Structure 1
């Protein structure tokens, strides 16, 4: 028994009870198999000999056949109930682990992989509980009972069975070792596909803003094809193993049947004995053949059980470190366009009041405008309108005199750098997250962008530097560090239009100061619109626009004198 199986038995009492029930049912089944073979051979031998079949013999044979049918039904009911109880117990432990006081931080979990584990993964335990465990107990009991009865009936045939019986588990183990590796690979690809797909869906607005949704569609397709190929390779190995086991079992039965037939012709053995041997020999090999098939069916379930225990044993990872960052000069952008909103109204589906109500706003090339106002006033909607995520219900938006509706959305988004309030970082390396701004950027350009965003200091302090893998949503980094990674993306993209949605929200004073310095450097030479709840970025705005209930309630110049950028 593998370590993961021992732990399943140790930590799930329902499986221990299930194994005991399977052992009892296997013993009863072995007795019924021997009884059926003996009674059937007796009835047939009497018939061929011209002796009448007694009612008692026929009734006994019928009772044994009915007993085997009832036993098969009881085994099916009990095994499916045990599988459901085992999955429920494991799901409860996982959810308690994720939601309890000792759980990991939500951002540190691979949510897609966990969802796959809880749903599709745990369902893979069914073949292990329903098929593998009952078959294992039957393989340990039935061959012993059959061989013992064969020794009583015909010792020479029993000897042939004893010699050939080990061939099936030997060949099964040789093929099964290869199958286990294939199955583990298949499950890893499935978990990776589920985790990556959820990560992509969660970060879809970011991907659209940076024009990378098409690349991710192709990548998800490639991962799905890789999982399909791994599944087909696993199935090929499973079918090959079935062929091997069936061939070995058939040859073994033939080694028993041929000598018995010859001896029957020679008259050295009677018909009843020969029939008992012929009926019981396949029954001796059948549980071992079934065990080989059950092993392949249960391999994925055991792999999943290992993943479950790995999740339950996880410790909370340390958070990322912070450190001082250099402050080189930022890159300069050119061709900053003018933006104009003419009586723009935006209605969201299901809402009676407009998110934006006849808003007009002119932003000159290179001008910095701060949007302030209470939550729900329409600030984020205005940014979504400029990105192209939302279309105006009335009015129009122009870019240097051209209607935004006439521009190609993908082409327009190449001219925008967007830094949301809660930037989405993908489950990839730090460098790959920064390179989202410009996929063809060199390592040197990625590092330069990180230095401009004051992120280079803490990135270099990570275990693998820029190659350090992050968890979902940037797990392993603080909120301020994630914000600076998002700013580094914007520096790397070097777009002429900058849209910032509360980049300093939810940050502590130290992180807010670092993000403010980086944001101020990023705004130089660009047309920038900043949604600001805090006042740290107001000194760097040329104008402050107040939105209330979807309307531009006031328009005034910034009242705080601009301070020099560090």
Structure 2
């Protein structure tokens, strides 16, 4: 798959203006399954009429002639049994379609977050993003397994029943026709409030997830400062807020169901009253005669609950739609976060054997929300050149790295790699040449060996040992009880900041990258450890193109150039 087709795949679903269109588009290749669901639903609707006709004749025979028609009994039981089987098959197919939709959506979200890289922090913290990927995607289940199939049933079944009732009783027909919109109106009225409640619930859940992750990561620091109790109270307060919003959603769901049941029951009672008075020949406009026979009265009375049943069921499932739209709003933020142009052309970067200008910045700047993140800068970096970029916080040092990594392309000016704008470059090829060492490297919950070889293939023990020796990580790994098989958490629990950075250097060496980008590699290290890490970087990065971003706290003497970035621009320090 080429870069252009990858971009097109990633950008599917980005042109939607609201959550409803987005939810409809997600159906995708599951449309065939929903067609099967609709056909089975239509057959079930026809069987409702057959069942009601058989039972009405059965009951009328028992009342009028005291005879039992076994044919009508068997026909009614078969219609009921077949309806049950059709509904079971419908539910199984709809559940499978929902599962496939959510699987593909979750896969797309994870792919998008991987593509965004560190830029994902603009959307939300990782804990809240995980809530969107798992909790909010699962919140779509009821929408696709229950609500979407029911939207078809709510039109087909009442329509079949109306056509059946019309030649028998015009008054019953108009009772059905006039009361059905009232049920839908109150369903939508209560449903809008449920949508706002669901959005609030997801927002509180995201806040709770972020707080839980922050507390988990900073537990040792909280203990040192004797603030564990305060953190626990804050977490408890957020949990109570989530409990309160959840109960609010449930209250609205019960209110919606109770309202629909009330109007449906009143409508059925109107039909029953009309038929009862008609059989008693007490209708004011038709005294002394009955408008319908006993068989037809039983038939209409049996159809009345079936007419309102799809509407009542849709009302119960309507909060699933509101919940899904609330979840979709958070999911869309992830899918729409990337600003990469899907019409970019694939351009292969050159691998030159002679030193040349590898990176060129020409009036490069980056704005975000009317606040400048990177002022206009111009400069160039030759292949094999090592640059130290320093500056105060907030001037745009990390933003420049994000541009070079391909995670940010809303910049102005030009950022050229081998003479080609990075927006039009083959990012997979460019990133294969990159080694990125951030201030806080990300790790997986696994062994040191797994973290070092993640995403890399054909690595033998000799290569790993050589990288560890060059980075001097082998010194502390030998002292660990399980060596390379020592378990690491996402935070690198059990290792110091300097040790973690040495592992990052070893991982960069194993990647065989010729371009290294380092973001504050010594920010959390003391002076002695920082100097040791910088000396290691100096030794292993010879003949590589290097861009080190940091403050002036730890001067780097061995670089070829020292750039200083300020709010006014980029300057070279002599």
Give yes or no for TM over 0.5.
yes
Aligned partners of 1:124 and 1:298 also within 8 Å: no
Partner of 1:520: none
Cα 1:26/1:309, change in 2 over 3 Å: same
Partner of 1:527: none
CA distance in 2 between partners of 1:150 and 1:224 (Å) = 53
Does residue 47 of structure 2 align to residue 32 of structure 1?
Answer: yes
Cα 1:300/1:48, change in 2 over 3 Å: same
- Aligned pairs for 1:113-262 (under 5 A) are 113-262=128-277
Partner of 2:125: 110
- Aligned pairs for 1:282-293 (under 5 A) are 282-293=305-316
Cα 1:504/1:143, change in 2 over 3 Å: farther
Partner of 2:99: 84
Aligned partners of 1:105 and 1:316 also within 8 Å: no
Shift of 1:244: 1.1
CA distance in 2 between partners of 1:503 and 1:224 (Å) = 45
Shift of 1:142: 0.9
Q: Give the alignment partner of residue 272 of structure 1, picking from 295, 320, 328.
A: 295
Cα 1:43/1:219, change in 2 over 3 Å: same
Cα 1:91/1:511, change in 2 over 3 Å: closer
Shift of 1:324: 5.4
CA distance in 2 between partners of 1:184 and 1:36 (Å) = 42
Cα 1:227/1:504, change in 2 over 3 Å: farther
Cα 1:84/1:513, change in 2 over 3 Å: closer
Partner of 1:49: 64
Partner of 2:112: 97
CA distance in 1 between partners of 2:34 and 2:263 (Å) = 28
CA distance in 2 between partners of 1:105 and 1:504 (Å) = 30
Aligned partners of 1:87 and 1:123 also within 8 Å: yes
| Stretch deviating more after TM superposition (156-165 or 57-66) | 57-66
CA distance in 1 between partners of 2:246 and 2:158 (Å) = 33
Cα 1:57/1:9, change in 2 over 3 Å: same
Q: Report the RMSD for the aligned CA atoms in angstroms.
A: 3.9
Shift of 1:132: 0.6
CA distance in 1 between partners of 2:133 and 2:230 (Å) = 29
Does residue 561 of structure 2 align to residue 515 of structure 1?
Answer: no
Aligned partners of 2:52 and 2:76 also within 8 Å: no
CA distance in 2 between partners of 1:184 and 1:284 (Å) = 33
Shift of 1:420: 5.3
CA distance in 1 between partners of 2:270 and 2:253 (Å) = 26
Cα 1:41/1:236, change in 2 over 3 Å: same
Partner of 2:317: 294
Aligned partners of 1:421 and 1:503 also within 8 Å: no
1:124-143: CA deviations, max 9, x gaps? Answer: 12211121112111111111
Aligned partners of 2:136 and 2:331 also within 8 Å: no
Aligned partners of 1:34 and 1:146 also within 8 Å: yes
Question: 3-state DSSP class of the match of 1:165?
Answer: helix
Partner of 2:353: none
Aligned partners of 1:25 and 1:75 also within 8 Å: yes
Shift of 1:30: 1.2
Partner of 1:447: none
Partner of 1:305: 328
CA distance in 2 between partners of 1:208 and 1:515 (Å) = 29
Number of aligned residue pairs: give it: 376
Aligned partners of 2:47 and 2:83 also within 8 Å: yes
Shift of 1:167: 0.7
Who wins on radius of gyration, i.e. which is larger?
Answer: 1
CA distance in 2 between partners of 1:499 and 1:196 (Å) = 32
Partner of 2:75: 60
Structure 2: tracts of 5 or more residues without a match = 1-15, 282-288, 341-365, 368-372, 376-389, 394-446, 448-470, 480-495, 501-517, 538-545, 559-574
CA distance in 1 between partners of 2:250 and 2:334 (Å) = 27
Aligned partners of 1:43 and 1:53 also within 8 Å: yes
CA distance in 1 between partners of 2:498 and 2:194 (Å) = 47
Shift of 1:4: 2.2
CA distance in 1 between partners of 2:207 and 2:527 (Å) = 33
Shift of 1:274: 0.9
CA distance in 1 between partners of 2:550 and 2:325 (Å) = 48
Does residue 7 of structure 2 align to residue 12 of structure 1?
Answer: no
Cα 1:31/1:503, change in 2 over 3 Å: farther
Aligned partners of 1:112 and 1:191 also within 8 Å: yes
Cα 1:209/1:154, change in 2 over 3 Å: same
Question: 3-state DSSP class of the match of 1:153?
Answer: coil
Question: 3-state DSSP class of the match of 2:167?
Answer: helix
Cα 1:314/1:500, change in 2 over 3 Å: farther
CA distance in 1 between partners of 2:155 and 2:80 (Å) = 22
CA distance in 2 between partners of 1:15 and 1:3 (Å) = 21
Cα 1:509/1:58, change in 2 over 3 Å: closer
CA distance in 1 between partners of 2:156 and 2:260 (Å) = 19
Cα 1:289/1:500, change in 2 over 3 Å: farther
CA distance in 1 between partners of 2:203 and 2:30 (Å) = 26
